[in-house]
């Protein structure tokens, strides 16, 4: 019998078993030359050409490398796309996708977007005469209203970062296709284990693979997956032209991390759900934001398009001062940028991931939704962490330090490890 607390579309349990198999048996798991049970590291920058009249598959690692190709085929398989591409970082992958546009083009973008993406769109692409309109993508009417004669693309992030708003992927993708627009979606928080946007009509899926896909805080990487071969050829040209490729060793490390994706995501989500439930009962917390909570406004939509609720929880602690008090007291987890790793990571988006977003913009977007607002500002914290076993570990901190909950008005947690205060 299916677990009633989880989405059950796509035959949930059967789908998860199939996906788990793909994580291990992805086509390059056994080296054809030696039988090695690991993809070889082809630590070479160039390849001998045996015949000039019959070019080989590989000639120069910027253009292609067998180790990186194994990774690119791997992510394409997991996302259900035609071609995959590995980049030096998540922002390198996102930047490459935007390079499909030209001067004079216009983009419609989720307003509650990762700070690095916001910085790219507002400080770099503007110099290339590419303009962006930021909208509340949870409202399809707002997305439609932003359409201009020169609109060429729609960029989505769902659940959004850091306030976990949910966009109806199929609805936006369907409308965009009617308008002839390119659709791109940052799938970092969900990973293909929980959510596969190409199945819902998205053209390009993007990842900061540094996060959940890598999962060990030891590699910086970005991935892109094109839904079609024709779009894949265009992305390949950009990847080769810009040269922002992922290195051979990092490609191997990322593949190693991806093999345990299912086990890690299951553990992360179990922890996040327990934490979200518990935080919801605490009087010191104004609001908890997590797609798995019954009162989350986007839960029904999320369950239609995702197989899980993910490992990021946000909660409102009331002030930036309280947030900073918590940050100054914890010993576990790390206080750092990033998320999605085996260790617990507590982040302060206002001064970390969303520092590039002006304060007035964060406040405007937070207040625009009324009483349910979750400003991407000084009152939000985000934590990504490993599994914790005893809720009392968190409760003890809250009892000792009310500032824990006051740490950042919206606190995001990916999984959750043990918390300790100095």
Return the C-alpha torsion angle 200, 206, 211, 212, nearest 10.
Answer: 30
Q: Which two tokens stand for residue 23?
A: 């994580």
Q: How far apart, in whole angstroms, are the C-alpha atoms of residue 272 and residue 150?
A: 42
Helix (H) or strand (E) holding 369: none
Cβ atoms of residues 336 and 211 within 8 Å: no
- Estimate to the nearest angstrom the gap between the alpha carbon of 211 and the chain centroid: 7
Residue 289 a catalytic site member: no
Is residue 114 part of the annotated active site? The answer reads yes
Of 211, 237, 240, the residue nearest 223 (C-alpha): 211
Selecting among 74, 114, 193, 290, the annotated active-site residue is 114
Q: Which of 211, 264, 379, 386 is catalytic?
A: 211
Backbone angles phi, psi at 253, to 5 degrees: -60, -40
The packing angle between helices 66-79 and 248-258, to 10°, is 30
Beta bridge partners of 412: 382
Q: Is 186 a catalytic residue?
A: yes
List the structure tokens of 120: 């790219």
Contact 108, 153 (CB under 8 A): yes
* Catalytic-role residue among 105, 136, 186, 316: 186
193 noted as active-site residue: no
Of 121, 92, 126, nearest in space to 108 by CA: 121
Name the active-site residue from 10, 22, 62, 119: 62
CA distances from 375 to 118, 157, 191, 310, 332 (A): 15, 16, 25, 21, 25
Q: Helix-strand-coil percent breakdown of the chain, rounded to 5?
A: 40, 15, 45
Active site positions, annotated: 62, 114, 186, 211
């Amino acid at each position: 019998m299916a677990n009633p607390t989880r989405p059950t579309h796509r035959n949930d349990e059967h789908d998860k078993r199939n996906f788990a198999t793909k994580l291990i048996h992805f086509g390059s798991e056994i080296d054809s030359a030696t039988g090695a049970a690991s993809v070889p590291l082809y630590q070479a920058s160039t390849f001998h050409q045996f015949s000039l009249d019959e070019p080989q598959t590989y000639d120069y690692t910027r253009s292609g490398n067998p180790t990186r190709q194994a990774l690119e085929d791997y992510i394409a398989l997991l996302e259900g796309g035609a071609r995959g591409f590995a980049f030096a970082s998540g922002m390198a992958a996102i930047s490459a996708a935007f390079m499909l546009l030209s001067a004079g083009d216009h983009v419609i973008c989720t307003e509650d977007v990762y700070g690095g993406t916001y910085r790219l769109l507002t400080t770099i692409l503007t110099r290339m005469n590419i303009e962006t309109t930021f909208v509340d993508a949870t409202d399809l009417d707002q997305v439609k209203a932003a359409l201009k004669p020169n609109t060429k693309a729609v960029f989505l992030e769902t659940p959004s970062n850091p306030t976990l708003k949910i966009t109806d992927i199929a609805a936006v993708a369907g409308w965009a296709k009617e308008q002839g627009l390119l659709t791109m979606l940052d799938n970092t928080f969900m990973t293909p284990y929980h959510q596969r946007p190409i199945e819902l009509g998205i053209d390009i899926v993007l990842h900061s693979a540094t996060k959940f896909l890598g999962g060990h805080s030891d590699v910086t990487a970005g991935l892109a997956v094109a839904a079609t071969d024709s779009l894949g050829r265009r992305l390949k040209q950009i990847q080769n032209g810009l040269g922002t490729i992922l290195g051979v060793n990092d490609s191997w490390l990322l593949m190693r991390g991806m093999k345990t994706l299912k086990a890690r995501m299951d553990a992360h989500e179990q922890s996040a759900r327990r934490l979200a439930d518990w935080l919801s009962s605490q009087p010191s917390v104004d609001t908890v934001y997590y797609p798995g909570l019954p009162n989350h406004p986007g839960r029904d939509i999320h369950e239609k398009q995702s197989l899980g609720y993910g490992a990021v929880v946000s909660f409102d602690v009331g002030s930036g001062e309280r947030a900073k008090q918590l940050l100054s007291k914890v010993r576990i987890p790390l206080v750092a940028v990033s998320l999605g790793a085996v260790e617990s990571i507590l982040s302060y988006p206002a001064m970390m991931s969303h520092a590039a977003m002006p304060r007035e913009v964060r406040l405007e977007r937070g207040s625009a939704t009324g009483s349910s607002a979750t400003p991407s500002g000084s009152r939000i914290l985000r934590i990504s962490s490993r599994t914790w076993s005893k809720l009392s570990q968190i409760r003890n901190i809250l009892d000792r330090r009310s500032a824990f909950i006051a740490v950042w008005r919206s606190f995001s947690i990916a999984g959750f490890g043990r918390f300790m205060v100095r």
